Structure 1
Amino acid sequence: MHNKGLEKDFMEMVRLNERIIYKVVSFYADIDQSSSDLYQEVLLNLWKAYPSFRGESKLSTWIYRISLNTCITFFRRSKRSVTYSALNIDISDTPDDNENIKELYRLINKLDKIEKALVLLYLDEKPYKEIADITGLTVTNVATKLNRIKDKLKKMSNE
């Protein structure tokens, strides 16, 4: 049984990092599906793994890793394909910029789950080393994959 101190620490960790969890969940959740099931699944996996967090990486890196792995596993297990995600975009720039960003997210939503994870972390301005730590890839592999994804998105936008 988990003690009250551990539970309190966990709840505080979730409160301080809920933005990361919501971002990952919203990136993977279907428009038709409530993201609450996926969010609860991420919280459950974080709770199960929390006592074994050793601090060998930044807490945010660990949260990203658990959240991304949970989302990817959730959709593999349920055999659902993710085609579109409900992304909360708050843009107050010009209408052209708004349309370009909407188009970018539409194209990103067509990527596979791993590619979406890499793009999410890249757009969140994570350094390649941290992306590698989160995804379990090498830094070189992250750089290569991101370049290929950029090329893929360019080709998709020209179609």
Structure 2
Amino acid sequence: GQVMTGRPSCITLDTPLLKLLKLFHAKQFRHLLVVDEEGALVGVISDRDVMRCLGPERYPNATVLGRITARDIMSTDLITVTPGTSLDRAVTLMIDHGISCLPVQIDSTLVGILTNTDLNVMLQVLLQSIPWSSSAELVKTEPFHRHN
């Protein structure tokens, strides 16, 4: 079955920070993909990127915050996959690069996004299909070991 989220929500390079905040809050997104005028993927913004941007040490006054756009805070070092990428490879990429989403493209056309949430939903479905998984214990040892 399909694991990725199709038709992901995208923003433009000039989307203001305040609109980003509203989108993350209202839609409960954790990632937004940034596209240029032609619709080509040029960056990704996570909710963590936005929160880092809001720290007073970064932008000490509201006037400066009002001028910030997606272009200013997006990550441009993109790692993407195709619909044909194996799930194993996609998970390995996410772990190895410490990222929580992978844009999915066919040639240079954006067709979806694979996120940690998508993977967790898939894992839940898989575990529910295994008879013993509902009775399996998460930890089979003592709660913790104290070192003196």
TM-score range, shorter chain: under 0.3
Structure with max Cα Rg: 2
Calculate the TM-score normalised by the size of structure 2. 0.24
Which structure: greater helix fraction? 1
Which structure: greater strand fraction? 2
